[in-house]
Amino acid sequence: MAGRTLYDKLWDAHLVCERDDGSSLLYIDRHIVHEVTSPQAFEGLRIAGRKPWRAASVLATPDHNVPTTSEQRASGVDGIEDQVAKIQVQTLDDNCDEYGITEFKINDDRQGIVHVIGPETGACLPGTTIVCGDSHTSTNGALGALSFGIGTSEVEHVLATQCLAVKKMKNLQVIVTGSLQVGITPKDVILAIIGVIGTAGGTGYAIEFAGSVFESMSMEGRLTVCNMAIEAGARAGMVAVDDITIDYVKGRPYAPADEHWGSAVEQWRDLKSDSDAVFDKVVELDGQDILPQVTWGTSPEMVLPVNGIIPDPQTKTGVERDGIIRALEYMGLKAGQAITDIAVDRIFIGSCTNSRIEDIRAAAAVVSGKTKSATVKEAIVVPGSGVVKLQAEAEGLDKIFIAAGFEWREPGCSMCLAMNADKLEPGEHCASTSNRNFEGRQGYGGRTHLVSPAMAAAAGIVGKFVNVNDL
Amino acid sequence: MRSFTRHKGIAAPMDRANVDTDLIIPKQFLKSIRRTGFGPNLFDELRYLDKGEPGKDNSGRPLNKDFPLNDARYQGASVLLARENFGCGSSREHAPWALDEYGFRAIIAPSFADIFYNNCFKNGVLPIVLNEAIVEGLFVAMYEQEGYSLTVELDSQQVLTPEGEQHGFEIDHFRKHCLLNGFDEISLTLKESDNIKAYEDDRREAAPWLFTQLS
Ligand code: SF4
């Protein structure tokens, strides 16, 4: 028998049955739920008179809609000024209470962005299948898990049956060889990959990130990379289990302990692709070639190294040319302009891509002892969870940001998608550590440039994009 | 699920690549806890000149005259012609809900993002992949001819043009089966309850740490 990929192994281990109609039922170990994509699923369950199959498999928290200022957070759900958002958060609380689902409520110290709290608490573990009504569920694959986003109908389906009817994806291996230059972060690596394969390059595939760059990357870095697998079109991204994975998981609140730890680790050691496994497609990059990345357009594939020059649409044809013309118009940029000439109005450091403690530390290291540029209206730092926030405060990082003129906020999705009060005004440019630069994503008419935490921090100091290594 | 067998309707263009679900239905409308009410805000940022808000009366809002869906010739359209990677980005099922409520029963594009593609089927909206050259041909014909309509037959897996061309498309057997019959997928899965329980018992034995109550 030919060797199996990591994805093949995870698939095989969760296959409940293959039905006559050609579909497969896959068992879901862990289901993470947030307020935006779940109310209609619970409603469907209720209308059909069904109960969750295994409520103990579900972990919930509100994140998308929660305010991030301390004043508004002080009074919990009641502090949410937007009445529509408040009803949604309240509905999650009510549904979790009704069905006996564990929820980290708005002011629980463990509350945070779904994709940050999953790995952080140990609710998401190697070798498991994990779903959530959110496309960035791909994040958890960094643990050596099969983790992907689903729609609301599927949220209801998993609640009711603990399974999903799915079709197997193809295998794509993305290898980054060699080592990274100084100052190059996991965010730069994934943006560079998307620049090469495009936002549809991974469509229909599960991506395994392999090669020496990922082997030596921290778990938080791997989470950042897998987070954006979806921006490369792949529903799932993953990294093989190694000592870094196991060290990361050990001692987390929901991780196996005592007599279970040994047998868990033994099972997890096999979570890697066999040496003779065959991938449907392989893409290889050299880590040495990767420079700090900045997106200039309205799709994550519209990305350049910081020393790059904005492309001329007239050198392209058809739909691609039209796309560049539209993006330049929306972004208020011109062909031939240098990335380092783009002035930024706001800085957002946060989101499920880059709001973990290493991200916060990296940004703090850049701003330490410096001051926010007077031309930058606002720079906000939004930790990914209450746990990250407390850790950062214990290290005094909040003070570094505040001294530099940056704001230190309460955890949530915040300006990543601007469902709460944190948003861009029309025409404003934002250096953002989030994952999507779509039109209007961070606020109506807002202009997003995706960068790493260090690059966002540097832009906040200078007021323009600069190579963080030159600062 | 609503069934889909055969549909004939006017085609309308969404003539750009990488249309993301934020563009299909902007985030402010995601605060709703209902499944309906999204149709009037489909493509909100393209369709109107001002900023839409949930609960706002859309009837008096200034329309973007350049947006095709505001053009008289595309009124009543129910087949959307689109470009590659349609529906990328967020997993929000509000996107197919909005398309469906607006009146689109089928979407034709050279490629779709995976989660969006999947979400369409759950709502009786049929996403159809045709190759880029064929889609380009359909765009050209649609622009040339007012009231250009397409017929979609699920059983024979064909898109029929007014000129009498037939374009076959691929579709996964299970999805086709569910859509033709309007099956409730949860009921189908629950027929396998014994299999699920048997799997679960084995899993509990192999990895008991996954079955403890979170607290
Ligand atoms: S931080 Fe942004 S991308 Fe991540 S879950 Fe929240 S809204 Fe989605």
What is this model's ipTM?
0.94
In this prediction, residue B214 carries a pLDDT of 87
| Residue A267 to chain B, least CA–CA distance (Å) | 9
Backbone angles phi, psi at A147, to 5 degrees: -135, 125
Cβ–Cβ under 8 Å, residues A324 and A296: no
Closest CA to B40 of B72, B70, B71: B70
Strand A24-27 versus strand A15-18 pairing type: antiparallel
For A132, A139, A235, A338, A387, the CA distances from A136, given in Å and listed in that order, are 9, 6, 8, 31, 20
Closest CA to A126 of A33, A275, A257, A238: A238
In this prediction, residue A376 carries a pLDDT of 98
Q: Coil, helix or strand for A171?
A: strand
What is the set of domains in chain B, with CATH numbers? 6-183 (3.20.19.10)
Burial class (CB in 10 A: 0-12, 13-18, 19+), B39: middle
| Residue A179 to chain B, least CA–CA distance (Å) | 30
In this prediction, residue B213 carries a pLDDT of 84
| Residue A181 to chain B, least CA–CA distance (Å) | 30
For A52, A261, B201, B209, the CA distances from B205, given in Å and listed in that order, are 21, 14, 6, 9
pLDDT per residue as tens digits for the range B81-106: 999 999 999 999 999 999 999 999 99
Residue contact A153–B185, C-beta within 8 A: yes
Q: Which residue type does A105 have? A: K
Which token pair is A140? 């958890």
Residue contact B215–A102, C-beta within 8 A: yes
In this prediction, residue A125 carries a pLDDT of 98
Strand partners, A15: A26
Distance CA A309, CA A336 (A): 5
Question: Where does ligand 1 bind, in terms of residues with CB under 6 Å?
Answer: A 63-64, 113-115, 134, 136, 351-352, 413, 416-417, 434-435
pLDDT per residue as tens digits for the range B43-81: 999 999 999 999 899 999 999 999 999 999 999 999 999
Strand arrangement, sheet containing A15-18: A15-18, A24-27, A163-166
CA of A129 to the centre of ligand 1 (A): 20
Distance CA B42, CA A253 (A): 43
In this prediction, residue B55 carries a pLDDT of 87
DSSP A427: T
In this prediction, residue B18 carries a pLDDT of 95
**Which run of H or E residues covers position A96?**
helix A83-99
Closest CA to A231 of A201, A265, A270: A201
Which token pair is A67? 């305010």
| Half-sphere exposure for A111 (CA within 13 Å, toward CB) | 27
Q: Is the pLDDT of residue B1 over 80?
A: no
Chain A residues near residue B51 by CB distance under 8 angstroms? 444
Cβ–Cβ under 8 Å, residues A150 and A132: yes
Residue contact A88–B31, C-beta within 8 A: yes
Q: Which residue reads 């991030």 in tokens?
A: A68
Distance CA A76, CA A436 (A): 28
Confidence of residue B20 (pLDDT cuts 50, 70, 90): very high
Distance CA A29, CA B106 (A): 34
Q: Exposure string (b/e) for A195-224, b if CB count within 10 Å is 16 or more?
A: bebbbbbbbbbbbbbbbebbeebebbbbbb
What are the strands, taking DSSP E only, across A67-201? Answer: 102-103, 129-132, 146-149, 163-166, 170-177
Strand partners, A430: A346, A448
What atom of ligand 1 comes closest to residue A135's alpha carbon? 8
Distance CA A89, CA A121 (A): 21
Candidates B91, B171, B173, B202: best to mutate against A (most CBs of A within 10 A) is B91
DSSP B86: B
Helices (H) and strands (E) in chain A, counts: 16, 19
Q: Is B33 on the interface with A (CB under 8 A)?
A: yes
Which token pair is A400? 């570094």
pLDDT per residue as tens digits for the range B169-185: 999 999 999 999 999 99
Of B18, B26, B189, the CB nearest to A163: B189
Strand B166-168 versus strand B158-160 pairing type: antiparallel
What are the strands, taking DSSP E only, across A287-433? Answer: 293-295, 303-305, 346-349, 378-381, 407-408, 429-432
pTM: 0.96
What atom of ligand 1 comes closest to residue A416's alpha carbon? 2
DSSP A191: H
Strand A24-27 versus strand A30-33 pairing type: unpaired
Nearest CA owner, ligand 1 atom 4: A352
Distance CA A109, CA A106 (A): 9
Distance CA A306, CA A302 (A): 13
Chain A residues near residue B96 by CB distance under 8 angstroms? 151
Of A48, A204, A417, the CB nearest to B114: A204
Strand A205-210 versus strand A58-60 pairing type: unpaired
Q: Give the number of other Cβ atoms within 10 Å of residue B125's Cβ.
A: 21
In this prediction, residue A209 carries a pLDDT of 98
Chain B residue whose CA is closest to A45? B186
Of A135, A235, A260, the CB nearest to B89: A135
Q: Which residue reads 């279970």 in tokens?
A: A260
Chain B residues near residue A317 by CB distance under 8 angstroms? none
**Which run of H or E residues covers position B196?**
helix B193-206
| Residue B115 to chain A, least CA–CA distance (Å) | 7
Q: Which residue type does A462 have? A: V
Distance CA A46, CA A32 (A): 19
Chain B residues near residue A19 by CB distance under 8 angstroms? 174, 192
Residue contact A36–B30, C-beta within 8 A: yes
In this prediction, residue B205 carries a pLDDT of 97
Which token pair is B32? 């709703």
Distance CA A87, CA A107 (A): 16
Residue contact B186–A91, C-beta within 8 A: no
| Residue A65 to chain B, least CA–CA distance (Å) | 8
Chain A residue whose CA is closest to B46? A439
What atom of ligand 1 comes closest to residue A114's alpha carbon? 5
For A79, A80, A422, the CA distances from A71, given in Å and listed in that order, are 8, 10, 14
Closest CA to A37 of B26, B94, B98: B94
User: pLDDT (tens digit, 0 to 9) for every residue of chain A, 471 residues total?
Assistant: 789 999 999 999 999 999 888 889 999 999 999 999 999 999 999 999 999 999 999 999 999 999 999 999 999 999 999 999 999 999 999 999 999 999 999 999 999 999 999 999 999 999 999 999 999 999 999 999 999 999 999 999 999 999 999 999 999 999 999 999 999 999 999 999 999 999 999 999 999 999 999 999 999 999 999 999 999 999 999 999 999 999 999 999 999 999 999 999 999 999 999 999 999 999 999 999 999 999 999 999 999 999 999 999 999 999 899 999 999 999 999 999 999 999 999 999 999 999 999 999 999 999 999 999 999 999 999 999 999 999 999 999 999 999 999 999 999 999 999 988 899 999 999 999 999 999 999 999 999 999 999 999 999 999 999 999 998
- Residues 6 or more apart whose CB falls under 8 angstroms from that of A323 comprise A297, A299, B16, B17, B18
Cβ–Cβ under 8 Å, residues A265 and A246: yes
| Half-sphere exposure for B28 (CA within 13 Å, toward CB) | 19
Strand partners, B24: none
Distance CA A470, CA B15 (A): 42
DSSP A128: -
In this prediction, residue B138 carries a pLDDT of 98
Q: Which residue reads 């999650």 in tokens?
A: A92
